[in-house]
Amino acid sequence: MPEPEQQEISFQHRRIKNPKLRRGIFLIPAAFTSANLLCGYYAIVASLVGAPDDFNRAAKAIGLAILFDSLDGRVARMTGTNTEFGVQFDSLADVVSFGVAPAILAYAWGIRSVTAMDLEALHQLGLFAWVCCLFFLICCAWRLARFNVKGMAPGGSKYFVGMPTPAAAGVIAAVVHALHRAGPLQDWRWSVAWLLMAAALGGLMVSTIRYYSFKDLPWSRKQPAFLILFLILIGAVIWAFSEVVLVLLACTYAVAGVLLHLVRFIRQRMVSRTA
């Protein structure tokens, strides 16, 4: 006679085999992906409006898009509803939310309020911003296409090859959110630095630098109570001090991948010299 756990697994398998129920389950990850796309679209519109509060709303919308993007794939795997259509739909939504939206936000927030320049210099700054933000967008699409073809880093799902697109978009959104009280940039020198940062994030996305994916963490296993309390405390700190905490988390993740890559490179060079 089958064990109770085997009976439960068999029952769940038969239940998911029901065509009507499977159509209903497919809607769950698609709904999260659609919410991701909605947030990206809202961020674009808010950036185009261009009021100081609208820039902050655009940054928050990109942050929500990151949350929804992290949930759709996880929900699809948990419910056994991951399909090729879902993968492509998710990638297209990511191009909007983590490519187009942060590129437009970076462009508008970086140069719209710069006025202490003559018309020719301001025009050149606009062209420079256009190129940097376009580069960020192209790198985002390139990164997503490469991931769809090659997947994770060799050896498992522990690392991404190149900076993930949500993380790159998160850096832009976090910086805008942290500095939204001061308003958009008004000094052209800060604008140049900001645009160079956006281009650097694009370069990190298409690089071969490995970034930790957090996919090997046992989220579905039973965890000790103190870990739950710790996560609640982290969430409370982020909620209360989001302007500081989010930008620290986003920038730390971006820099950590580069530093670890340099450490591995130096270690390999030292090993090759001693060999």
Q: If DSSP states are collapsed to H, E and C, what string results for 184-228?
A: CCCCHHHHHHHHHHHHHHHHHHHCCCEEECCCCCCCCCCCCHHHH
pLDDT in tens, 98-132: 999 999 999 999 998 887 778 888 889 999 999 99
Of all residues in the chain, the percent with pLDDT exceeding 90 is 48
Q: Rounded to whole angstroms, what are the CA distances from 162 to 7, 74, 186? A: 43, 21, 32
For the domain made up of 4-214, the CATH class stated in words is mainly alpha
Which residues 6+ apart lie within 8 Å of 240 measured at CB?
none
Residue 153 has which token pair?
């880093």
The answer to whether 82 touches 29, Cβ cutoff 8 Å, is yes
| 232 contacts: CB under 8 Å, gap ≥ 6 | none
Q: Which of 250, 146, 262 is nearest to 209 (CA)?
A: 262
pLDDT at 10 over 50: no
Amino acid at 173: A
Interval 230-275: pLDDT, tens: 878 888 988 888 899 999 999 999 999 999 999 888 888 888 777 6
Q: Distance of alpha carbon 45 from its chain centroid, rounded?
A: 19
| DSSP state at residue 156 | S
**Among 47-61, 82-96, 188-202, the least confident range:** 82-96
Looking at residue 153, what is its pLDDT? 63
Q: In the prediction, which pLDDT does 275 show?
A: 65
pLDDT at 92 over 70: yes
How far apart are alpha carbons 200 and 205 in whole angstroms? 9
Percent of the chain with pLDDT over 70: 85
Reported as type and span, the H/E element at residue 161 is: strand 159-161
| Residue 166: Cβ within 10 Å count | 22
CB 110 within 8 Å of CB 128: no
In three-state secondary structure terms, 153 is coil
Q: Residue with structure tokens 């192209």?
A: 138
- Helix or strand run (H / E) with residue 99: none
Where in the chain are the domains?
Answer: 4-214
Q: Place 178 in a pLDDT band, splitting at 50, 70 and 90.
A: very high
What pTM was estimated for this model as a whole? 0.84
User: Quick one: DSSP state of residue 208?
Assistant: -
Among 171, 143, 139, 154, residue whose Cα is nearest residue 253: 171
Higher pLDDT, 135 or 25: 135
Q: Name the helix (H) or strand (E) containing 64.
A: helix 52-79
Is pLDDT above 90 for 64? yes
* 185 touches 107 (CB < 8 A): no
